[in-house]
Amino acid sequence: MAKKKSQQRGPEDLGQKLLSRIEKSPVTQLVLAALFVAGIIACAASITTKTQIAVAVSAIVVFLALKRFNNIETIRVLYLILAAFLSVDYFYWRTFTTLGFNDLLSFSCAMILYLAELYGFVVYILSIFVNIDPLDRRPIPLSKEADAKPPTVDVMIPSYNEDSELLEVTLLSALQMDYPKDRFHVYLLDDGGTDQRCNSPDPVLAEKAKKRRVELQALCAKVGANYLTREKNVHAKAGNINSALQQTHGDLIMILDADHAPTADFLQNTVGWFIKDPKMFLVQTPHFFINPDPIEKNLQTFTQMPSENEMFYRVIQRGLDYWNAAFFCGSAAVLRRKYIMEIGGISGDTITEDAETALTMHARGYNSAYIAKPMISGLQPETLGGFIGQRVRWAQGMLQIFLLKNPLVLPGLTLPQRLCYFSSGFFWFFAYARLVFLLAPMCFLFFGLKIYNANFVDFAAYCLPHLFAVFMVSDFLFGHVRWSFVSELYELMQSVYTFPAMLKVLMNPRAPTFNVTAKGETLTQDFISPLARPFYLFLLLNLVAIGFGAGRLVWGNIGDRFPTTITMCWAAFNVFILLAAMGALLERRQRRASPRMPANIPARVRVGDKSYVATITDLSISGASIQIDAAYETIFRTDTKADFIVQGNNALSGEPFHFVVRNARSEGSLTNLGVQFQHKDLEELKRKVLLVNGSSDRWISFQTNREKRLGVTRSAFFLMSCGIRFSIEHFAHLMIESNVRQPSPAYHAGGRSSN
């Protein structure tokens, strides 16, 4: 019978089967891609410049036509392959045509620039590969009937020096997750109250640690969580978690940073994948932040533009998930204890223990999953110093992995996984490339060094189509979550400080130590960041270089006019990014430690014996804005005590939330109140925490409202307008500071930090 069926199968069926195998085989896809690239190189080596222009123009026309069909998978792949064609074609020409030897100094500078371009080319091609088909993995909800006894979960919240108010919110959010209460336990892992710190020879440190231990033990007893600490502070966060693993027994481990409050549906949306796939070791979810990072805050883009982290959490992790390479991000994740214990717990050879652990587990053949639904709300550093310190640690840790556990040679990984991990680690060399691109124009405009040998026709035939493809692909893949030129700004601001830190790792891969990132700081007034000085120098150099270029155009050789014009445009682009950096380096005051996020919650406000229809329009753990559907009355005056009841089909409906009015203003037939919560007891505090942090739909709505694609041109104008406006404010503030000669004010840390 089998033979008969085989005989009846026609060529068309065999072809479909072959295509199906190709589609499902990553290795086959890579082989075909390699053959495709080889074909491009063979073609590029044999065509004339005129033919190249015709090919490039034709490719761009097709490129633009295909962009309209982003949602069709086959068209999407063709679009990206065509983009790769234009870039591979350029880089072949760049390598074998433009690196002529003029003199030793010129050639040395030319090679430094070439290596920076090579970095960009490799990252670009890897990005196309990683994001060829991002996986939109859906949660598998737990059925209360079918899964009467789901896996047990130990929720672990590592802490070092965060204040008790912050920890209380995270603990209460975790304790109120929608999961059978006898199937999960919440643990606070206190590394600030270890025996080592309590017995420190420094009496101040010892007293502080003892006080902290007593305070957090009382907090855990009050809310119903478990307090754990350990003997010594070894191996930082990884050591803290591993110590807790020896004292707990749950099937699964959920890890949360101290400032990461989970929504009620977190476990409902993640545990199902462990039941479905016995080889699943990790389910990772996005890190969603309720406050702007320092660059967003200082440029005032938080509510207008997608956050910098959304490119990774909304696209790249989904792309990695397609190749079974989504990795652990340190928090907002669930891991299977059995498999983690096979490797002795969380890895600790590097300071990015999360990615290192995932790499080790993938090499053992286990699977990971990424669910792109925001189900935690966390805090970002408030100052550029905290932000840069965090990114320096990430850069050093990923470079450590690259050197100590290189994914290209680590046994057990599939080829796509190797490329994905290589991409994630190699990306952090952007510091080298950004600094080279920032300084390279001076080589020609100041000193006349020949760093890029090309005439106008060849440049137009090869380089311009490549640049067009790079910007279009970036917008195509990430435009809805990362506007054009935003990456240039963020990477430039990090490069000055990550580059020397990475050199230290190259010299001694085991040198970096784990540093905790400060969170929840408050800034009392505007001030210029202490990190600004190098950027003044870079801005001055590029402006002077443009002036030198203008002189070359007027008095220089006619033959140098083309390279001079191109290099001046390059320097002008650097100035454009540096002006935006100037705006971001003016730190804005931040007095509110609990960030307000938009809300749209129907409520009824009760003041005395009166009741009003109202809507809660924004919300934080400390207060809210309430819009009352009634004209202003004296009853709404400051310091009035009142409460509201949530309306609608809501688990919190019917229970009061007490508050005091801090300000009131009339807007026609409406009244807007700014209120401060004043909960009466622990039960009301629990309800408040659930109201503020319990709904993932609220975070999804905020993301969706910011998600819009501007395109390359509009993005450039947006960032340019921000740069001009806020750089003017920066230099005006600099003049005021110089006249007053007051030091930059310190910030109030508020005792909050996180990993």
* Any domain includes 158: yes
CA pair distance 751, 379, nearest whole angstrom: 13
3-state secondary structure of 205: helix
Residue 62's pLDDT band (boundaries 50, 70, 90)? confident
Q: In this structure, what CATH number is given to the domain that contains residue 358? A: 3.90.550.10
In the chain, the percentage of residues whose pLDDT exceeds 90 is 72
453 by Cβ neighbours in 10 Å (0-12 / 13-18 / 19+) ranks as: middle
Nearest CA to 81 among 44, 32, 42, 48? 32
Inside any domain, residue 690: no
pLDDT band at 631 (very low <50, low <70, confident <90, very high): confident
- 253's CB contacts (< 8 A; 6+ apart) are 153, 154, 156, 241, 245, 334, 335, 336, 337, 340
pLDDT average, residue stretch 156-178: 96
pLDDT at 744 over 60: no
Which residue segment(s) compose the domain that 219 sits in?
Answer: 153-380
Of the candidates 628, 645, 678, which is a domain's last residue?
Answer: 678
- Mean of the pLDDT values across residues 389-409? 93
Residue 12 has pLDDT above 50, yes or no: no
pLDDT at 675: 95
C-alpha closest to that of 44 among 467, 566, 458: 458
Q: What is the CATH number of the domain that holds 654?
A: 2.40.10.220
Q: Is the pLDDT of residue 535 over 80?
A: yes
pLDDT confidence of residue 102 = 84
d(CA 405, CA 402): 6
The winner for highest mean pLDDT among 47-51, 639-643, 663-667 is 639-643
Distances from the Cα of 410 to the Cαs of 403, 517, 723, in angstroms?
Answer: 11, 31, 44
What pLDDT, in 10s, does the model give residues 105-156?
Answer: 999 999 999 999 999 999 999 999 999 999 999 999 887 655 578 999 999 9
- Asked if the model's pLDDT at residue 746 lies above 70, the reply is no
- Last residue in a domain, options 345, 362, 380: 380
Of the chain, the percentage scoring pLDDT greater than 70 comes to: 88
Please give the C-alpha separations between residue 691 and each of 41, 176, 254, in angstroms, as whole numbers: 59, 11, 22
Name the helix (H) or strand (E) containing 672. strand 670-677
Q: Which residue matches tokens 């952007």? A: 430
Would 292 be classed as within a structural domain?
yes
Nearest to 754 by CA among 501, 378, 392, 385: 378
3-state secondary structure of 544: helix
pLDDT band for position 512 (cuts 50, 70, 90): low
Average pLDDT on 35-46 reads: 58
Q: Could you give the number of structural domains in the chain? A: 2
Alpha carbons 248 and 265: distance in angstroms, whole number = 23
pLDDT computed for residue 214 by the predictor = 97
Based on DSSP, count helices (H) and strands (E) in the chain, helices before strands. Answer: 27, 19
Q: Return the SS3 of 267.
A: helix
Listed in sequence order, the residues at least 6 apart from 658 whose beta carbon sits closer than 8 Å to its beta carbon are: 641, 642, 643, 677, 678, 679, 680, 684
**Residue where the block lists tokens 């994905």:** 420
Determine the pLDDT at residue 24. Answer: 47
- For 283-331, what is each residue's pLDDT tens digit? 999 999 999 999 999 999 998 999 999 999 999 999 999 999 999 999 9
| DSSP letters spanning 589-633 | PB--SS--EEEEEEEEEEETTEEEEEEEEEE-SSEEEEEESS---
Domain contains 500: no
Q: Which residue has the tokens 């970096």?
A: 512
640 is written with which tokens?
């009035």
Domain membership of residue 95 (yes or no) is no
pLDDT in tens, 64-80: 787 777 666 777 888 88
Phi and psi of 193, rounded to 5°? -125, 35
The residues annotated as belonging to the active site are 191, 354
Report CA dihedral (249, 255, 261, 266) to the nearest 10 degrees: -70
pLDDT higher than 60, residue 42: no
Torsion angle, CA of 213/219/220/221, rounded to 10 degrees?
Answer: 110
Of 678, 693, 708, which one is at a domain's C-terminal end? 678
Euclidean distance between CA atoms 355 and 341, whole angstroms: 16
439 falls within a domain: no
Contacts of 118 (CB under 8 A, 6+ apart): 91
Judge contact between 337 and 380, C-beta under 8 A: no
What tens digit of pLDDT does each residue of 255-275 get? 999 999 999 999 999 999 999
pLDDT at 36 over 70: no
Residue whose C-alpha is closest to residue 731's, from 487, 536, 500, 449: 536
Q: Is position 237 within any domain? A: yes
Task: Give yes or no for residue 438 having a pLDDT over 80.
Answer: yes
Exposure string for 560-570, b = 16+ CB within 10 A, e = fewer: eeebbebbbeb
Predicted confidence at residue 378, as pLDDT, reads 96
Residue 558 located in a structural domain: no
